[in-house]
Each structure stands twice: as structure tokens, then as C-alpha cells.
Structure 1
Amino acid sequence: MGHDPSWWSIVGACVLAVVGLADDRASLPAVARLGAQVAVGTVAGFALGGFWAAAAGMLLVPAVVNAVNFMDGINGITSLTMTVWGVSALAVGVASGVGSLIVIGAAAAGGSLGFLPYNAPRARMFLGDVGSYLFGGLAATGVLLAGTRTTSVAVVLAPLALYAADTGFALVRRAVRRESLTQAHREHVYQQLTSGLGFAHLPVAAAVAFLSAFITVVAWALPSTAGAAVIALLLVLYLLSPTMLRAKSARVRGSKS
């Protein structure tokens, strides 16, 4: 077990899943959840790459796990997006000859696709914290693995860019208004598109996954500077999409009146 880096990712993700299960059942304090995430990130990072990777894991694991948790609010969105992440990690593993990354990517993609029929288009089951912590843990430790074993960590990070942007944008807006960052809300872009503008869950979830896949292709195919510029533009357009759609709807209503 100690010689195969994939075990550190799998065990870390399973530990986080247990924390998520406990939170589903007993509503753990935020400090306990964050502490577990930091601990898993630190231990997994150190095992995979020493002190610098431990420092990266201490920040990366809580960030990714919570982004996945916050974004898992409509049917199919995390199953589809984590499928994209898993396929991307698997592809990088194949291209780089890193078998452990192939294992992590296959586990994430297989688990996501296996759960999808139960969650979309009509939800009979939900991931809950246990599922979102599991997939977030796989993705975060998979990024650490890619960072220590390949030169393509940007490609493994790319499918998570939209989740990170949406989560960060919502938290910044709430912080500016001095609202609680831990209180439940419906200010994410995907929530504005569904609850606010009336789009069905599955088309929005599919659009998020498609854009995440396109961002990944851009990160893989374009030079770093050009790729970063294109990705930034795509993320800005996504973040502004509810505002643009509301403005378009207002113009249409105005032209009919």
C-alpha cells in the first residue's frame, strides 16, 4: 500500500467520505469538518511529495472538497462534472505513464457515471456530504498526485476551474455584503439559472460539464498564456450569464409591450 500513490488518494477520499457521512447524520461543526479536510490534505500531500506538497494539500483539499460540496445543488451537476475530471485525470495518467493517476481518474469517472442514473434527470438519490466529500477528495488528491508525478497538473486542475470560479464569486459577493459565508444560500450561478431563471436542472448541469470539458481541452491544447486568457474569458462569460440572460429577457418583454 505504501508503494502505490493511488492508495493515498483513495484512503484520503474515503476518510473524507466518512466525515461527510457523519455530517449528513449529525451536522458536524464547521471547525471539525475543516480540521479533517486540512489533516487529510496535509498527510496525503506529505506522502505524495514531501513538505511542499503537504503545504499545498493543506490548502487544496479543503478548497476542492468544499467547492464540490457547494456546487452539488442540482440534479446531475457533480456526477457529470466529476466524470469530466475523472476522464481528464485518466488521460493525463495515460499520456504521462502514471498508473496511479489512471486508477484515480477511472475511480472518479466510474463512480460518477454509476451514480448518474440515480440522480438525473429525476433524482432518486442524492450525493449528500458523503458523496461530495468523496469526489472532492479524489479530485483534490488526484491534483496533488498529478503535481508530483507529471508536468500536466494544469490539465487536471482545469475541469475544476468553473466550480472554483462559481464558488469564489458567490463567497466574495456575500463577503462584500457582510453576510455569513457558512449559511446556506442560492446565489451560485447554476442556482440563479435554475431557481431564478427557470431552466431545468439537467440542461444546466450538462452545460456546466460541457464548459468544464471545453476548458480542459483549451488547457491541454493551447500554450499556457493563451490558454489562461481563453479560460478566463469563458469563466467571466459563465459568471455573467444570469445577468446577460435577465437583460435579454427584459429587452424581449420591452419590445412586446
Structure 2
Amino acid sequence: MYLYLLISLLLVAAILVYFRIAEKFNIIDVPNHRSSHQQVTIRGAGIIFPLAAVTGIFLTLDISYPLLISVVLISAISFIDDMNNLSSGVRLGVQLLSSALMLYAVNGQQMFPFWLLFAVLIVIIGAINAFNFMDGINGITGIYALVALLTMWYINKYITGFANNALMLCPAIACVIFLYFNYRPKARCFAGDVGSVSIAFWLLMLQLLIIRETQSYKYLFLFSVYTVDAVLTILKRLTLKENILQAHRRHVYQLLVNNGKLPHLFVALTYGTIQLLINFILLNTSFTVPVYLFIIIVPLSLLYWVFERRFNNSASAVGA
């Protein structure tokens, strides 16, 4: 208890020190026509997520150096990208290396046949970047990550032990601290790529550990809300022949905020609440993957379709 209180105080101090550094070196986010915010805001405060993850690794007392190196690598390249836009090739190259180290750290070579490992790496990198694209309004990354981490902590404590609790609790503390400054109508800071990429990387690592321990693929649905929004938005953009790597405002959460004029905080909380309800279903049922696809992914896809049509049409009507 006292240990986690000390960690909380250190992380609070870390983010306050970062604010001073960001203000001095002008590490800020300036809104443009694709932004969902209107004021200049400190960027990169999500650096406390990898700091918390590294702290969790050391608290296990059984340090996995491949995992440690992978977290530091992917966080460092993301932080550099926050300050100076890097080429996609450099970013993806480091993400590939980091993901390979992470997969090795969780014994991915035992979970998947050798011929499938590269495809798994591509999926991991795709998921990391999809999570990053979903970080566009106040509170959404912090709330969604907190829901995932607390769910994973519950699984670890009450269903099956798959890792040291510190690997979930330290990042969860970081999420609460970050939300204090971010979950506001006018956020004090944004996570930046260093935050959204590193927390996505960490959550995927924990998800792989759960699947390895339980041998149950139902835990793939722990990120259903983000998955549906990200995948269907990508498919929509492909049909429109848009560059899916460029910033945009086509995600449903963006349509709800920008076209529907719903508050950031309400939309972010709604995404987290829906995922929490889905996680409750996952933890209290034992259906097959096809059944989960039917009762989770199909309804979410229908909701996506309804809101995407409703608020895209609203935008068209306003612009007519």
C-alpha cells in the first residue's frame, strides 16, 4: 500500500517536472483543421505511462530485459516523433524491433508457429497505431487504458495469475494521474505519441500474457470498442481512396464531438463504459469466439454504422 502511494507521488512529481520542461522547450500541440481541440496544449505528458511500466518491471524483482528494452525503445522513438516528426519508415522499423523483443519476452515463439510470427508482429504494430489514432479527444486514452488495466488486474487476482500485479497497478496509477490533468473541458496536457503508443504496447503485452496463460482467445475482445471504430474507419477511408496514414476526423468519436457537438468528456466516458460492460460479459461467460463475435462485434458494428451515417449526414447538411 505504502509502496504504491510512494510511486503515485513520484509519478505526480514526474509529470509536474515534465510540464516545466515542455513549457521551456515548447513541446506543445497547436490545433489545426483536423483537431478536436481549440487551444494550445502541452504534448507528450503520456511519458508517465512508460515510466510507470518500467517501474512495474523493476518491482517484479525478476526483470525481463527484452521487455524493458522494448518499452524504452518504442517510448523513446515515439517521444522523439512528438518533438520532430519522423519518417514513417523509422517509426515502423523501431516498432517492429520493439514488438519482436516484446513477443520474445512473453514467449510468443511458443504461442504461435514460427511461420506465423511475422504476421503476428504486423498485427501488433497495426493495433499499436490504431490505438494511437484513437487518441483524439480529452480523456479517451486515459479512461480506456484504465478500464483495460483494472480488468486485467481483476483477471490476474481473481481468475488466473499471469503476471505480477505491479505490471498493471503502476500504469493504472499513471492513468489516474494523467486523467487529472487531461479529463477536463480544457485539458492541461495531451498524451502525445509517447503516451498512446507506449500504453497500447503495454496493454497488448499484457493481453498476450493473459491469452498464453488461459489459452482462451475470448480475451481478444478486451479492446472491442477501439477495434471496431478503428477497423471500420480504416475500411471507410480505403473505400474513399484516402491515405489511411494521414490525420483525419472520420472516427465515430470524432464525428460525435465535431459534428454532433457532444462534450469530449461524455464521449470518452461512454467509450470506456461500453468497454467495461463488454469486459463484464467476458469475465462472466464462457462462450466460443464466434458467439462473442455475434454478441459483441456485430452490435458494435451496427452502432458504428448508425452514428457514422447520422453525423456524417449532419455535417453534409450543414455544409450544403
TM range (shorter): 0.7 to 0.9
1:164 positional shift: 1.4
- Would you say 1:170 and 2:233 are equivalent positions? yes
Contact 1:72–1:132 (CA under 8 A) maintained in structure 2:
yes
Structure 2 letter corresponding to 1:217: F
Contact 1:39–1:58 (CA under 8 A) maintained in structure 2:
no
Q: Which has the higher helix share?
A: 1
Aligned to 1:139: 203
CA RMSD of aligned residues (A): 2.7
TM-score, normalised via structure 1 length: 0.86
| Aligned mates of 1:218, 1:7 — CA distance in 2 | 35
- Which deviates the most, 11-20 or 169-178? 11-20
| Aligned mates of 2:63, 2:155 — CA distance in 1 | 15
Q: How does 1:94-105 map to 2 (within 5 A)?
A: 94=157, 95-100=159-164, 102-105=165-168
- Would you say 1:150 and 2:208 are equivalent positions? no
1:247 positional shift: 10
1:15 positional shift: 2.2
| Aligned mates of 1:219, 1:33 — CA distance in 2 | 34
Q: Which runs of 5+ in 2 are unaligned?
A: 1-57, 315-320
TM-score, normalised via structure 2 length: 0.70
- 1:84-138 CA-to-partner distances (Å, cap 9, x unmatched) read 11011111212212233x3322233222111001101230000001111111111
Select the residue among 181, 190, 202 that pairs with 2:265. Answer: 202
| Aligned mates of 1:53, 1:114 — CA distance in 2 | 35
Change in Cα spacing, 1:7 to 1:82, as seen in structure 2 (3 Å) is farther
Change in Cα spacing, 1:110 to 1:238, as seen in structure 2 (3 Å) is farther
Q: How does 1:104-253 map to 2 (within 5 A)?
A: 104-121=167-184, 122-152=186-216, 154-155=218-219, 157-222=220-285, 223-224=287-288, 225-243=290-308, 245-246=310-311
Aligned to 1:45: 103
Change in Cα spacing, 1:47 to 1:65, as seen in structure 2 (3 Å) is same
Aligned to 2:49: none
- 1:35-83 CA-to-partner distances (Å, cap 9, x unmatched) read 1111111121123214255726513431221122100000000100000
- 1:153-174 CA-to-partner distances (Å, cap 9, x unmatched) read 533x333111111111111111
% identity of equivalent residues: 26
Contact 2:255–2:311 (CA under 8 A) maintained in structure 1:
no
Change in Cα spacing, 1:7 to 1:139, as seen in structure 2 (3 Å) is farther
1:205 positional shift: 0.3
Q: Which runs of 5+ in 1 are unaligned?
A: 250-257
Change in Cα spacing, 1:247 to 1:190, as seen in structure 2 (3 Å) is closer
